[in-house]
Amino acid sequence: MLPIFVIIPLGGAFLIPIIAKFKEEWAQVVANLCAGLLLLFSVASIFWLKTGIKVYDVGGWKPPFGICMVLDGLTVLMLLVVNLIGCMALIFSIGYIKKYTAPKLYYTLFCLLLVGLNGVVISGDLFNLFVFLEITSIASYALVAFGTEADELEAAFKYLVLGSVASTLILLAIGMLLGHVSTLNMADISRSLNFSTSKELILYCLALFMMGFGLKVALVPFHAWLPDAHPAAPAPMSAMLSGVVIKTIGVYALIRVVFNIIGFTPAISSLFIWLGIISMSVGVLLAIGQWDFKRLLAYHSVSQIGYVIFAIGLGTPLGIIGGLFHLFNHSLFKSLLFLNSGAVEYSTGVRQLDKLGGLSNQMPVTSNTCLVASLSIAGIPPLCGFWSKLIIIIAAFQANNIIGAIVCILVGMVTLASFLKVQKYAFMRKAEQAISSIKEAPFSMQLAMVVLAVLCIAVGLFFIPFVDSIIKPAAATLLEGTGYAKIILGI
Amino acid sequence: MSLYLLCMVLFAIGLYCLLVKKNLVKKIIGLVITEYAINLFFILLGYRTGGEAPILSKDVVVTNFVDPLPQALILTSIVIGLGIMALMVAIAMRIYEKYKTFDINEIRRLKG
Amino acid sequence: MREAGMSLIVKRITKITVSLIFLFGVYIVLHGHLTPGGGFAGGVIIALSFIHLVLAFGKEVALKRLSESAVSIIESLGGLMFWGIALLGLTAGAYLLNTLPKGQPFDLFSSGIIILCNIAIFLKVGAGLFSIFIAMAILRIPEVDNKENR
């Protein structure tokens, strides 16, 4: 039953243009129905996994001749992330989309984005992963340019050119691997690479994959598109981009290729650790001087993804658990922050922090959820961000990486400082002009924000059963490394 | 061997055009040349010495075909390239409408 | 008033060649499992026959033949047809399983669902390319004042 994650949004995306010709509002209904069904199925997949790893052969052809879809621990974690944030962003869009003039196109593109994201996560074949990655990328380029103002078009063009070059490099790496082992199934490639004789080719492919996926995940030498593209998109799309897309087509694809196909060596470990450390510091230092709300949040995304890559690069079981837990938490609180900024922009029309003020009286729901998310990203107990950062710092000390641990602590303090700045300027102080006509955001936007804030608090309070049931199986599949091949092909 | 090097030369020409030229349309052409160079490299991977085109018909007895799998993969990749090019040209046309120029030095409102 | 389109010779020849191009595209689509080509190449050729009309006669004549809303519906129908064929395989076993009867090899109606998939892809690709071209042809950029100073 694995293709259901791709069938549902694909049907939705093709039905919406026909249905919207008769009644415009039904496009919203179809899109939200698709997202709700996907969320139900991804919660159900936690229980499917209890009976073992599932492999589904598309078209009845057995691998390695055919394409297969795989459901293991890491897939379940990513499915939860993708569908939860997708559903919340669509509920938020019910109120937000009134500012734009073509809702039918927005919902079609959003459903195509969900097709691509779900397809990347469940694919078991390397070229299939590339095709779904391209579907995701093209849908996100079009959605970033959705408002067609001058700033948004320029940001979309920059994102488009850089993203296409990255996809071209990934395709070149896949081509080189195909020429070497003559198969595209991920388990089969990892089995054949054990008998290969040319280490230089694998190193070259690894370098190309690092460049390509590194640009999609916005690590520091390749992050130049992110501060322009994420603020320019409509707010629910910014939440999807920063909370889901860079994790799925960046972090998930990178760690699947590096851990399960090529194998994790100490050289790759130190590369990840240094890239993570540089991303953390550069991101947060560039963020603290920003006065645009969404641009500040975009730079913080660069910094927090640096945490994830640093933790996964440590290679120890505790490090990988910390990294994956921080990935899940970051998607929760960063999406919540972007949705908050969207609500503020919807009500006041202003994004600059020094022109806002005193919103905590007039927009209570928005300011309280923003407070929860800011405390969570800064790492204040007992919210979810504190536990994942604590696990990462403990793992860094255990692996004798003192520099990394100290950088983590310092970056955490600077993150706290910059979010205190956000809270003070946007919500706490007295308003400069009399903007007394500001109302609270519409009900659908409040619902999405409240659900995400409740989840932040709940995951923080009950993190031990959460980590045991969802994060530990995900870390186990990564730690198995190239033994993944025996499980998939043995079935 | 020299055929693969020529593919990389084509890739480098496309990359040069993307980086150095100042007109937006010329950058688009450079990116498209880059993508097609990679497609060409992929198809060349499937060549077998002395092979025939991999089409089976009623009266063919030769069994030395070139590899058809890369050709099927590249069909997909060409379609993806077409989609990206259409999107880029549409965005470039809208940029001309807003900024009144195609020069990349003038289109710099986002900084910092 | 300037007439839309090109000169008289082009218009005469276009009236003959448009149907030939359309027929050639349909041939490539239907024989996709026997000769090279298939859905995508045939779809591009059929879209080209409509673009040929736009270039020779101007876009009003072409849009009277095939209006924009009709193109949008054809495109969605093509996608839904492919989706439906894939779901049909799901009910019989696996997703995208080849369920329809396969006749003799090298016949026109052999190989199960591939011919239906080719038709679905040709509808989507042909309509999609034509609508991209029309969207770009309709866009009107306002004239820049005092062009001599640029």
CA angle A345, A350, A353 (to 5 degrees): 105
What's chain A's average pLDDT? 87
Maximum distance among all alpha carbons in chain A? 73
Residue with tokens 């994959």: A209
Q: Residue B103 pairs with which residues in a beta bridge?
A: B23
Alpha helices in A23-149 (DSSP H): 26-48, 73-96, 103-122, 126-144
DSSP character at residue A176: H
- Interface check for C1 against chain B (CB to CB < 8 A): the answer is no
Which of A10, A14, A60 minimises the CB distance to C76? A14
DSSP 3-state assignment of A300?
helix
Distance, CA of A162 to CA of A172 (rounded, Å)? 16
Query: If you average pLDDT over residues A126-153, what whole number do you get?
Result: 90
The position carrying tokens 């995400």 is A452
Chain B residues touching chain C at CB-CB below 8 Å: 55, 57-58, 75, 79, 86, 89-90, 93, 96-97, 100
Range of the domain at B43: 2-49+65-99
pTM summary value: 0.93
Name the residue in chain B with its Cα closest to that of C134.
Answer: B90
Higher pLDDT, A173 or C106: A173
C136 and B75 within 8 Å at the Cβ level: the answer is: no
Pick among B25, B59, B75 to test the C interface (most C CBs inside 10 A)? B75
CA-based nearest distance B64→chain C, Å: 18
* Comparison of pLDDT for C58 and C148, the residue scoring more: C58
Q: Cα separation of A279 and A305, whole Å?
A: 8
* pLDDT of A61 higher than 80: no
Cross-chain CB nearest to A7 (options C73, C76, C87): C87
Query: A199-217 and A150-181 helices cross at what angle (nearest 10)?
Result: 160
Q: Tell if the CB–CB gap between C141 and B93 is shorter than 8 Å.
A: yes
**Interface contact flag, C94 A18, Cβ < 8 Å:** no
H helix intervals, chain C: 8-30, 39-57, 59-65, 68-92, 114-138
Q: Is B85 exposed, middle or buried (0-12, 13-18, 19+ CB in 10 A)?
A: middle
Interchain CB distance below 8 Å, A7 and C89: no
What is the model's pLDDT at position A110?
93
Could you tell me the two tokens for A143? 């959605």
Average pLDDT over residues A258-276: 87
Cis? peptide before A9, omega within 30° of 0: no
Cα A299 vs. chain centroid, distance in angstroms?
15
Tell me what pLDDT residue B1 has: 78
Nearest to A401 by CA among A281, A245, A277, A215: A277
Identify the CA nearest to A233 among candidates A99, A413, A78: A99
What are the angstrom distances between the C-alpha of A59 and each of A312, C2, C91? Answer: 35, 57, 12
Q: What separation in angstroms does the CA of C67 have from each of A23, C47, C61, C72, C73?
A: 20, 14, 10, 9, 10
Are the beta carbons of C139 and B97 separated by less than 8 Å?
yes
Q: What residues 43-82 of chain C have any CB closer than 8 A to a CB of chain B?
A: none
pLDDT digits (tens, 9 = 90+) for A434-448: 566 677 778 888 888
CA-CA distance, A307 to A415, in Å (whole number)?
12
Q: A381: how many CB neighbours lie within 10 A of its CB?
A: 11
Chain B environment of A295 (Cβ under 8 Å): 112
What does the pLDDT look like over C120-142, one tens digit per residue? 999 999 999 999 988 888 776 66
* Contact indicator for C112, C101 with CB cutoff of 8 Å: yes
Residues in chain B within 8 Å Cβ distance of A156? 91
Residues of A in contact with B42 (CB under 8 A): 171, 175, 178
Q: Are A311 and A319 in contact (CB under 8 A)?
A: yes
- Domain of residue A39: give its range: 4-490
Q: Give me the number of domains chain A comprises.
A: 1
* Cα distance from N-terminal residue to C-terminal residue, chain B: 46
Q: Helix, strand or coil for residue B100? A: coil
pLDDT at A120 over 80: yes
Q: Return the closest-CA partner of residue A414 out of A253, A317, A282, A259.
A: A282
Which chain C residue is nearest to residue B53, measuring alpha carbons?
Answer: C36
| Cross-chain CB nearest to A58 (options C72, C73, C94) | C94
CB contact set of A377 (below 8 Å; sequence gap of 6+): A300, A304, A330, A333, A334, A337, A385, A415, A419
**CATH number of the domain residue B16 falls in:** 1.10.287.3510
- Subunit contact C90:A7, Cβ cutoff 8 A: yes
The answer to whether C146 faces chain B, any CB pair under 8 Å, is no
How far off is chain C from B93, nearest CA to CA, in Å?
8
Establish if B35 belongs to a structural domain: yes
Q: Render pLDDT for B61-81 as a digit per residue (tens, 0 to 9).
A: 777 888 888 988 999 999 999
Tell me whether residues B57 and C106 touch, CB distance under 8 A.
Answer: yes
- For residue A83 the two structure tokens come to 């569908």
Is residue A292 predicted with pLDDT exceeding 50? Answer: yes
pLDDT tier, C2 (very low <50, low <70, confident <90, very high otherwise): low
| Mutation site for C-interface testing, chosen from B23, B100, B103, B106 by largest number of C Cβ within 10 Å | B100
> What is the domain count for chain B?
1
**Cβ within 8 Å, pair B55-C35:** yes
The pLDDT of residue A101 is 79
Residue count of chain C: 150
Q: How far apart are CA C126 and CA A24, in angstroms?
A: 26
To the nearest 10°, the Cα dihedral for A122, A125, A127, A130? 20
Q: Is C34 on the interface with B (CB under 8 A)?
A: yes
Q: Is the dihedral of CA A127, A130, A136, A137 positive or negative?
A: negative
**pLDDT band at residue C109, thresholds of 50, 70 and 90?**
low
Cis peptide before A63 (omega within 30 of 0): no
C136 vs B contacts (CB less than 8 Å)? 89-90, 93
Q: Are A147 and B98 in contact, with CB atoms under 8 Å apart?
A: no
Flag whether pLDDT at A431 surpasses 70. no
What number is the average pLDDT over the span C14-33?
Answer: 90
C-beta neighbour count of C51 within 10 angstroms: 18
Partners of residue C132 in chain B, C-beta under 8 Å: 86, 90
Burial of A37 per CB tally in 10 Å (0-12, 13-18, 19+)? middle
* C23 in contact with B, Cβ within 8 Å: no
* Confidence (pLDDT) at A188: 82
pLDDT at C61: 78
Whether B6 is covered by a domain: the verdict is: yes
Q: What is the pLDDT of residue C99?
A: 56
